[in-house]
């Protein structure tokens, strides 16, 4: 098996003019199913610190164990640093101090070129990508969001989304379709739920439900509903309001069955009364009256 290696570079042509505590971000790049980005900050003592951050589309306990070399203007600055990027430990960045006393030695003046040479030693979790060779081989259409491409199967996506069913029917013969007004990361998570390799979590529930409603993807709403009913940390009021907004009847019934004298009926009322149907208002009224009798 070939080694997993990549180089990500931060080039600053205005290094001297960077203000103290100003954060300069490099371009985000995708490598091996994760997003990587560099960042530099300059401190008031003249030293600087450069960061390499990793953000995966995978949810849950993912980790990427790496060996990193830091090269400054072509010269090795740090070599063989062992660095794990671990979501479950909130440990998703590697930082390297660059001392002012080293600036002259490494040719840091008006500009600087910093390279991270990364070797991936181990990956845990599901890092499925929609633009790798495997995805390309099994796809018949490319969905484009900004500079990211998603190679998917029309039949499979159409089966789970009425929106895409009609979209593909209206664009027969087109192999590339651009999607606008959509966040690429959120869309990746949405596809991951449909394809079954990502899990619903508290952090992604709102965006998943919003996207599922927009794309009429019942399977995503169903999986969000099961999660909210089983293991979510959302409070009672939040669950009930989500159940009504996205028509999750099983979740609504569960919420109604769990109501008691301590239920926050005031909190259950939406800002806009029309957000609830007449039947929902009736159910809440009858529940409240039952507890004050």
pLDDT in tens, 107-145: 999 999 999 999 999 887 766 778 877 788 889 999 999
DSSP 8-class letter at 62: -
Question: Residues in the chain, how many?
Answer: 293
What mean pLDDT do residues 85-99 have?
Answer: 81
Q: Are 209 and 193 in contact (CB under 8 A)?
A: no
Q: What is the pLDDT of residues 186-207, one digit of tens each?
A: 998 899 899 887 888 888 899 9
Q: How far apart (Å, rounded) are the C-alpha atoms in residues 155 and 135? A: 14
For the chain, domains (ranges, CATH) are: 4-124 (2.60.210.10), 133-292 (3.30.710.10)
Burial of 45 (0-12, 13-18, 19+ CB in 10 A): exposed
DSSP 8-class letter at 243: H
When pLDDT is cut at 50, 70 and 90, the band that residue 161 belongs to is: very high
Question: What kind and span of H or E run contains 53?
Answer: strand 48-56
Q: Are 190 and 220 in contact (CB under 8 A)?
A: yes
State the pLDDT at residue 88.
60
Q: How far apart (Å, rounded) are the C-alpha atoms in residues 116 and 122? A: 18
DSSP 8-class letter at 74: T
DSSP 8-class letter at 58: -
Q: How far apart (Å, rounded) are the C-alpha atoms in residues 16 and 33? A: 35
State the pLDDT at residue 72.
96
Q: What is the pLDDT of residues 199-235, one digit of tens each?
A: 888 888 999 999 999 999 999 999 999 999 998 888 8
Higher-confidence position of 150 and 58: 150
Q: How far apart (Å, rounded) are the C-alpha atoms in residues 293 and 287? A: 10
Distances (CA, A) of 37 to 32, 56, 259, 268, 290: 14, 12, 47, 42, 56
State the pLDDT at residue 112.
95
Backbone angles phi, psi at 125, to 5 degrees: 105, 175
Say what angle helices 184-195 and 205-215 make with each other, to 10 degrees.
80
Q: Are 78 and 96 in contact (CB under 8 A)?
A: yes
State the pLDDT at residue 257.
81
Question: What kind and span of H or E run contains 81?
Answer: strand 75-86
What mean pLDDT do residues 81-96 have?
Answer: 81
Higher-confidence position of 106 and 255: 106
When pLDDT is cut at 50, 70 and 90, the band that residue 159 belongs to is: very high
Strand partners, 49: 41, 97
Q: Is residue 278 predicted with pLDDT exceeding 80?
A: no
When pLDDT is cut at 50, 70 and 90, the band that residue 60 belongs to is: low
Q: How far apart (Å, rounded) are the C-alpha atoms in residues 151 and 245? A: 31
Q: Is residue 252 predicted with pLDDT exceeding 60?
A: yes
When pLDDT is cut at 50, 70 and 90, the band that residue 260 belongs to is: confident
Backbone angles phi, psi at 272, to 5 degrees: -105, 110
Q: Is residue 264 predicted with pLDDT exceeding 80?
A: no
Higher-confidence position of 33 and 96: 96
Q: Is residue 7 predicted with pLDDT exceeding 80?
A: yes
Joined together, the tokens standing for residue 165 give 């069913």
List, in order, residues 6 or more apart from 51 with CB less than 8 Å away. 38, 39, 40, 41, 93, 94, 95, 96
Joined together, the tokens standing for residue 105 give 């030695």
Select from 86, 57, 88 the least CA-distant residue to 189: 57
Model's pTM, two decimal places? 0.66
When pLDDT is cut at 50, 70 and 90, the band that residue 57 belongs to is: low
Q: What is the pLDDT of residues 11-38, one digit of tens each?
A: 999 998 999 999 999 988 888 878 899 9
User: Percent of the chain at pLDDT above 70?
Assistant: 91
Q: Return the percent helix, strand and coil in the chain, to nearest 5.
A: 40, 30, 30
State the pLDDT at residue 286.
73
Q: What angle do CA 135, 57, 85 make, to 5 degrees?
A: 120
Higher-confidence position of 5 and 293: 5
State the pLDDT at residue 90.
65
């Amino acid at each position: 098996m070939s080694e997993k290696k990549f180089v990500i570079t931060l080039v600053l042509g205005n290094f001297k003019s960077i203000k103290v505590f100003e954060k300069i971000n490099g371009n985000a790049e995708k490598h091996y199913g994760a997003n990587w980005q560099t960042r530099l900050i300059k401190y008031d003592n003249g030293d600087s610190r450069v960061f390499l951050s990793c953000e995966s589309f995978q949810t849950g306990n993912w980790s990427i164990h790496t060996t990193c070399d830091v090269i400054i203007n072509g010269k090795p600055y740090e070599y063989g640093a062992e660095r794990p990027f671990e979501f479950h430990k909130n440990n998703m960045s590697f930082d390297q101090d660059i001392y002012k006393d080293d600036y002259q030695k490494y040719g840091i003046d008006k500009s600087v070129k910093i390279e991270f040479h990364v070797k991936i030693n181990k990956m845990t979790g599901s890092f499925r990508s929609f633009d790798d060779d495997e995805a390309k081989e099994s796809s018949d259409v490319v969905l484009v969001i900004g500079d990211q491409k998603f190679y998917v199967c029309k039949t499979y996506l159409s089966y789970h989304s009425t929106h895409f069913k009609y979209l593909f029917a209206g664009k027969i013969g087109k192999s590339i379709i651009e999607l606008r007004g959509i966040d690429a990361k959120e869309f990746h998570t949405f596809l991951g739920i449909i394809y079954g390799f990502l899990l619903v979590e508290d952090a992604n529930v709102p965006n998943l439900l919003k996207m599922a409603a927009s794309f009429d993807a019942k399977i995503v709403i169903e999986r969000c509903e099961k999660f909210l009913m089983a293991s979510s940390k959302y409070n009672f009021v939040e669950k009930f309001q989500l159940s009504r907004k996205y028509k999750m009847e099983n979740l609504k019934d569960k919420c109604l069955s769990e109501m008691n004298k301590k239920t926050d009926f005031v909190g259950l009322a939406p800002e806009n009364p029309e957000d609830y149907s007449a039947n929902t208002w009736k159910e809440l009224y009858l529940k409240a009256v039952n507890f004050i009798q």
